[in-house]
A and B are shown apart, each in its own frame.
Chain A
Amino acid sequence: MRLYVPLGITFIAGIIMILEFFVPHDPFPTLGGHVKDWYTIVASSAIFLGILNLLRVHLKKINLRSRNWQYSPVTIIGFLGMFGTGVAFGFTEGPFFFMFNEFVVPMGATMFSLLAFFVASAAFRAFRASNWRASLLLASAFLVMLGRVPIGDLIWRLIPGAAESAHPNLVTEIGEWIMRVPNMGGQRAILIGAAMGVVATSLRMIFGIERSYLGGTD
């Protein structure tokens, strides 16, 4: 029961989706529609698992006075503040929308913009032309970095005759060529390889060979 019922549900749901693709006639589109509608609802409920866990972790930290517990009330107040204003005043305007736009948006953007500093530091310390392939990678990166900003062509045009040549935007053109030819070929090889992986994993899941998502093999 614990194993075969979930495996049966996985099999039936997976097969319905495949049959809907290959046999677009009733009952499969109707069944597929139901499965998709249910998927949206069930997947949505997963967010509450995350929220319950978040609150549980922070309440426990406060209770046990764990390291940095003083910040846990900030998380809980932040959550209750957004949730409370959303329930009380609606979420398309009013305080909820204001707090999202003025506080959540700048914090989210700033959090990820920190990476600009770390990518520069990491590039300085770790990006080494230690062999010819690494040098090729470095050259490709430089050409793309110059080709995607206007200053690349401005530097090129400092060379006498370059501005009047047939290719005044040569650096941009080289950057675009790298993207369009070698990059596309390499990415396509990765894409095809990964697609085969997805197909194999999906088949293993649908036929019950891959069971790790059930959290055990009993």
Chain B
Amino acid sequence: MSWEMVGIWGGALLTLCLYSFLYRDNPFYKFAEHLFVGMSAGYWAIYTIFNVLKPNWWDKLVGAGDADPQLIMIIPGLLAVLMLMRVVSKLATYSRLPLALIVGAGAGLQLVSFFQTNGLKQVENTVIPLVGSGVGPTIDNLLIVTAVVCGLVYFFFSKAHRGITGGMANVGITMLMVAFGASFGYTVMARISLLIGQAQFLLFEWVPTIPRILGL
């Protein structure tokens, strides 16, 4: 049996083990599930060590190749070690220091990036001429502006949804329902697509090998 066959059969049998969950929870499913978790963790560990930490930290610290050692890289190395202190209850408090760096840098960058892209740019793109080049585009523009403004009013909970606010909130939730319907349609599509991918693997890669294995 070639390595290619080992791969196809291994993948197919593990796939079938996982699909057996559809009947009920069983030892085959549990076996594949546990194997998947272990192998994925092994993959992450290898990539983190050899594709991230080695080139981005160790090689810079010791000055791999012609480069000079960057002693400043001791600081992130120390912080990384402190992060692992979380598993030692007496030293767990020191893991707050690397966490603080991650949270601070993330928060600072997110603040400006989200505000610009998902805040200001979206407002800017909503401020459009209501009258477009024809009846269709005009209706589209009106609907977009209405959906954004009324949708925001619906999410504004500091004022009771009564009177004009209530009316706008009603329009907003109606538009949001259409958006959620579209999201549901796309979600169904996504899940079926994943099944199609695995069905193609079983039908077109694994099934044709069965006669060869059986010597037919």
Would A and B touch once assembled, by the CB under 8 A criterion?
Answer: yes
Question: Could you list which residues of chain A lie within 8 angstroms of chain B, going by C-beta atoms?
Answer: 2, 5-18, 21-22, 34-54, 56, 68, 71-72, 74-83, 86-87, 91, 96, 98-117, 119-120, 123, 127, 133-134, 136-145, 148-149, 175, 177-196, 198-199, 201-203, 205-206, 213-215
Residues of A within 8 A of B173 (CB): 133
In the complex, how many residue pairs between chain A and chain B have their CB atoms under 8 Å apart?
398
Q: What is the predominant secondary structure among interface residues of chain A facing chain B?
A: helix
- Can you list 12 pairs linking A and B with CB atoms under 8 Å apart? A18-B111, A40-B52, A41-B53, A45-B83, A45-B98, A74-B38, A75-B38, A78-B36, A105-B11, A177-B140, A187-B179, A195-B117
Residues of A within 8 A of B83 (CB): 42, 45-46, 49
B64 close to A (CB within 8 Å): no
Q: Assuming A45-B83, A116-B191, A140-B177, what are 13 further A-B pairs, CB within 8 angstroms?
A: A6-B97, A8-B100, A22-B112, A35-B105, A49-B87, A74-B38, A80-B38, A81-B42, A110-B18, A148-B185, A177-B140, A189-B148, A194-B114
Contact B38 A78 (CB under 8 A): yes
Q: Say yes or no: A13-B198 contact (C-beta < 8 A), given A98-B3, A119-B187.
A: no
Residues of A within 8 A of B172 (CB): 189
Identify the interface centre among B19, B104, B172, B197: most chain A CB within 10 Å of its CB.
B104
Residues of B within 8 A of A83 (CB): 42, 45-46
Contact B181 A14 (CB under 8 A): no
Contact B114 A199 (CB under 8 A): yes
Q: Residues of B within 8 Å of A, CB-based: how many?
A: 115
**Of the 9-residue stretches B118-126, B158-166, B207-215, which lies at the interface with chain A?**
B118-126
Measured between C-beta atoms, what is the minimum distance from A167 to chain B in Å?
12
Contact B194 A203 (CB under 8 A): no
B176 close to A (CB within 8 Å): yes
B62 close to A (CB within 8 Å): no
Contact B15 A106 (CB under 8 A): yes
Measured between C-beta atoms, what is the minimum distance from A38 to chain B in Å?
4
Measured between C-beta atoms, what is the minimum distance from A141 to chain B in Å?
4
Q: Mark B1-22, 1 if CB is under 8 A from A, else 0.
A: 0010011101110110011011
Docked Cα-Cα span, A136 to B175, in Å, equals: 9
Contact A140 B181 (CB under 8 A): yes
B77 close to A (CB within 8 Å): yes
Measured between C-beta atoms, what is the minimum distance from A181 to chain B in Å?
5
Residue from B38, B52, B140, B151 in contact with A44 in the complex, judged by beta carbons closer than 8 Å: B52
Residues of B within 8 A of A196 (CB): 119
Docked Cα-Cα span, A80 to B30, in Å, equals: 18
Residue from A74, A186, A190, A198 in contact with B114 in the complex, judged by beta carbons closer than 8 Å: A198
Contact A107 B107 (CB under 8 A): no
Give B60's nearest chain A residue, CB to CB: A37
Docked Cα-Cα span, A213 to B95, in Å, equals: 11
B79 close to A (CB within 8 Å): yes
Residue from B18, B112, B178, B183 in contact with A114 in the complex, judged by beta carbons closer than 8 Å: B18
Residue from B39, B117, B178, B187 in contact with A82 in the complex, judged by beta carbons closer than 8 Å: B39
Contact B76 A188 (CB under 8 A): no
Contact B44 A141 (CB under 8 A): no
Residues of B within 8 A of A15 (CB): 108
Contact B14 A10 (CB under 8 A): no
